[in-house]
Amino acid sequence: MWRAILLLILTLDAIAQSPQELVNNAIAKQRAGDLEGAVKEYRGFLKDHPEATPIRSNLGAALAGLGQFQEAITEYRIALKQSPSAPGVRLNLALAYYKTGRIGDATDELVKVHKESPSNSQATLLLADCYLRMGQNKDVIRVLRPEQQQHPDDMAIVYLLGTALIRDHQVAEGQVLVDQILRNGESAEAHLMLGTCKMEAADFAGARDELAKAVALNPHLPGVHVLYGQALQVTSGPEEATKEFKSELAIDPYNYMANLQIGATLRQGQNFDEAKPYLERALATRPGDLAVRYQLAAIALSEGKAEDARRELESIVKESPNFTEAHVSLSLAYFRLKRPVDGKREKNIVDKLTAEAQAKQPGAKAR
C-alpha cells in the first residue's frame, strides 16, 4: 500500500508543471495557433498568480482570438485595474470593444491611449475610424490633420481624412484628397469618396453610379454598401436599399446606419419584432442616439405602450426641440393617454416647425 502511495506522489510530482513552464507552454501554444490550449495554460498560471498583469493580457488576446470578446474584455479590465498605465492592454481592450460594436466604449479607451502614446499610429487610425463611425467628423479631422502632415502618402489616413472633410461639407478640401487617391489609379476608395461628394450635393443618381463602381471594385470595403444603399433608397426604393444594408451587415454586423435603416424600414412596415434587434444594435453602437431612440419609441406607441413612448419622446424633444417627427408622435401619445391639452400643444409646435421649414425652401418667398 505504501509503495502504491509513494508511486502516486512521484507520478503527480513529475506531471506537475512549474509556473514558468505553464507560461512558456501557453506562449508556445498561442504562437502555434492552439488558442484553446493557451487559454487553459494561462488560466492555470493565473489561478496561483492572479497579479501577473502581462499574462492576464495574453489570456485576453487568446480569448479575443477565439472570438470570446466579452471574456477578453473582462480579463483586460482586470489587467488595467492592476496596471492602469499599460497602453498596450488598453489598446487591446479598445479593439475588443470595437469588435463587439461598442464603438463609444472603444473611443473612450482610444482617447486615453492616444493621449499617453500620440505616436501610436494604430491607435490614432482606430480612433479616427471610431469617430467617423459615430459621425463625429470634426474629431476625425482634428486627430488626422497632424498625421497627414507627417505621412502625406499614407492612403489610409488620406481616405479617412478625405471622407471626414466631405461629410463635414468641406468638399473642396476633401476633393484634393480624392484626387490624390485617383493619381494612384482607379480604386474603390476613390469612387466611394466621389460618391460621398455627390451625395452631399444631392446628386443621388450620380452618387449611385459612383458607388456601384466602388462595390464592383471592392465589395468588402467597409461602408460602401451602406452608402450605396442610401443612394438606392432615393433612386430605386427601400427594397433595393435593404439588400445593400444587409450586405454591409455581413461585413460589419454593428454598422450603425445599416442597422438603423433596416430597423426603420421594418418599423414602417409594421414588422416590429424584426425591427427591434436592428435598432438595438444601432443604439449599442451609438448610445443615446436620437434617431434610434425615436424609432424605438414609435414602435412602443404602435404596440399600445403609450406611456413608455411618452417618456422617451419627451426626453427626445427636450434634447432636440426641432425634431418634428418626435413632436408628431408625442402629440399622438398624449391624445391616446387622454391628455388633449398637451396633445394640442404638441400639434401647434408641429405646425410651427413645418411652417418654418417650408419658409426655408427655395422659392418660398416667391410663392
Q: Which amino acid is at 193?
A: M
pLDDT at 278: 96
User: Closest Cα partner for 192 from 241, 225, 157, 155?
Assistant: 225
Cβ distance 251 to 223 under 8 Å? no
pTM of this prediction? 0.72
Cα-based distances in Å from 132 to 6, 103, 123, 144, 289 = 66, 10, 14, 11, 15
Helix (H/G/I), strand (E/B), else coil: 324: helix
List per-residue pLDDT tens for the chain, 367 residues long.
434 433 333 333 334 456 677 677 778 877 888 888 888 888 888 888 888 888 888 888 888 888 888 888 998 899 888 888 888 889 999 988 888 888 889 999 999 999 988 889 899 999 999 998 888 999 999 999 999 999 888 888 988 999 899 889 998 898 888 888 888 778 888 888 888 888 888 899 999 999 999 999 999 988 899 999 999 999 998 999 999 999 999 988 888 999 999 999 999 999 999 999 999 999 888 888 999 999 999 999 999 999 999 999 999 999 999 999 999 999 999 999 999 999 999 999 999 999 988 887 766 555 4
Q: Which amino acid is at 313?
A: L
Backbone angles phi, psi at 314, to 5 degrees: -60, -40
User: Closest Cα partner for 243 from 215, 205, 280?
Assistant: 215
288-355 CATH: 1.25.40.10
pLDDT at 362: 62
Q: Where are the domains of the chain?
A: 288-355
The whole-angstrom separation of Cα 268 and Cα 98 is 30
C-alpha torsion sign, points 92, 97, 103, 105:
negative
pLDDT at 14: 36
Residue pointed to by grid coordinates 424584426: 274
Helix (H/G/I), strand (E/B), else coil: 168: coil
Tally Cβ neighbours within 10 Å of residue 271. Answer: 13
C-alpha cell at 172: 473642396
